[in-house]
Amino acid sequence: MRRTPQDVETFHNRHHLRRFTRLVSRATLALAMMVTVALTGLAPRGAEAQNLFAPVVQVNDEVITRYELNQRIALMSAIGGGATEKAALDALINERLQMSAAKRVGLVATEDGIKAGIEEFASRGSLSAEELLDFLAKRGVAYESFRDFVEVGIIWRDYARDRFGPKVTISEAEIDRALQQNGPSGGLRVLLSEIFLPARNASERAASERRAASIAANPTISAFAAAARAYSVAPSKAKSGRLDWVPLGNLPPALQSAVTALPKGGVTAPLSTGNAIGIFQLRAIEEIDTPTPSPTSIKYAAYYIAGGHSEAAMSRAAKVAAQVDTCDDLYGIAKGEPESALEIDTLPFEDIPNDVAVELAQLDPGEVSTALTRANGQTLVFLMMCGRNFAETGEADRDTVRNSLQGRRLTALAASYLSELKADAVITYK
């Protein structure tokens, strides 16, 4: 088994990145709208229906246009969100309400703040701002549309802090309790579905990338399940790609950050696993009482059995599973075989191959997975979890814990207030 890290395949690996050119400036957009209005009297009624700048929803005294809706769908598709018209429209309605609330108290975002926000967003995908904007432009997302999206996030964050910050007090006892739990959040677990597509060579990888993009463009729960049954090469295809509940802290770091940013039904960007690429859909997320800190390293065993997922190899794996209780027991099983038949390693969490890390996330010490293969499916991987190692909780920074607890509380208060704004708003669909 190769021990070099397999990073998330970020979108810029597939393109020669160049400097971003603005597609739509404010002046261009305003001019286009004026031309549209001027031509309205000359155009036939069928053309009016195609007017990109016609309103689709009115929120109190403001409108959302078809152009804005199309742009948001394109943006959500590009960054891996649930790119449905309903989800995009709901997001835009919420943002109109957020901006209106902020304007009433005179809050605005500075150009430097927006620039920093774009750079921070880009860094989540290991990109520069220029690379991210180029990536979005190639997918039809205008700079102004993305800028407006970032601007709303900045203003609403500041609004929530100013309005609710004085109401949020984190006690030292709360921090102590969080530290004892090995993390400020108490714990989260997620319910995922997975699809692994073959990528054994360049042409196969390119085809799988196109298929992954097509699946992500229609990210309903049922559509993803059907795609898993039809295309996935993972054993979970028999269960429509559905995995059981997994503690968030058990997932690979790259997948953790991707999953927590998803809405329900959202699909991650492709995750590279050497000879395959994986995409994951978030079906549910919930808070739990027990902590789920990320391990600093994991000890695991990989025993290789010839035959892949053939009946003979799976039978051999079942016999081995019945004979072992710990990873050390595998030394006796592999006695007399080539040294390469068994590997027992302790690796930093981020250095574990992604497909292995995903399987280990679902295992407790002593449990086994036979989902993986190597050598183009010719070798079965008998994967066994030995144990997870965690950092000492006493080293945690109290200010970091305080800020995390405060941030979660502010987010909850702001979300509740937004629900009130939406209930009181006059929303008219055109």
Which CATH number is 103's domain given?
1.10.4030.10
Does residue 2 fall inside a structural domain?
no
Tokens linked to 387: 């144990």
CB 53 within 8 A of CB 65: yes
Does residue 4 fall inside a structural domain?
no
Mark whether 115 and 238 lie in a shared domain: no
Q: Which residues of 201-229 are buried (b: 16+ CB within 10 A; e: fewer)?
A: eeeebeebbebbbebbebbebeebbebbe
> Range of 376's domain?
297-389
The angle at the Cα of 424, spanning 67 to 427, to the nearest 5 degrees, equals: 30
Last residue of a domain, one of 166, 197, 225: 166
Mark whether 94 and 69 lie in a shared domain: yes
Mark whether 15 and 144 lie in a shared domain: yes
Mark whether 46 and 139 lie in a shared domain: yes
Does residue 162 fall inside a structural domain?
yes
Tokens linked to 140: 């039809």
Give the helix/strand (H/E) hosting 26: helix 26-39
Mark whether 156 and 196 lie in a shared domain: no
pTM of the model: 0.46
> What does the pLDDT profile of the chain (430 residues) look like in tens digits?
333 333 333 333 333 332 232 333 333 333 333 333 333 333 334 444 458 889 999 999 999 999 999 999 999 888 765 568 888 899 999 999 999 999 999 999 999 999 999 998 888 767 889 999 999 999 999 999 999 999 999 999 999 999 998 888 888 877 766 554 444 344 678 899 999 998 888 888 889 989 998 898 877 899 999 999 999 988 889 999 999 998 887 888 778 877 877 888 889 888 877 678 899 999 988 876 555 566 788 999 999 999 988 999 999 999 999 999 999 999 999 999 999 999 999 998 788 888 898 899 889 889 999 988 888 888 999 999 998 887 654 444 677 778 877 887 888 788 888 989 999 999 999 8
Mark whether 200 and 324 lie in a shared domain: no
Mark whether 263 and 314 lie in a shared domain: no
Nearest of 355, 79, 6 to residue 196 by alpha carbon: 355
- Give the sign of the dihedral formed by CA 362, CA 366, CA 369, CA 373: positive
Tokens linked to 6: 């397999």
Tokens linked to 250: 């058990």
* Helical segments of 165-310, H only: 172-180, 202-216, 221-231, 253-260
Last residue of a domain, one of 266, 287, 308: 287
Mark whether 196 and 49 lie in a shared domain: no
Q: Per the structure, how many domains does the chain have? A: 3
Does residue 21 fall inside a structural domain?
yes
Does residue 183 fall inside a structural domain?
no
Does residue 172 fall inside a structural domain?
no
Task: Determine whether 66 is exposed, middle or buried from the number of CB atoms within 10 Å of its CB (0-12, 13-18, 19+).
Answer: middle
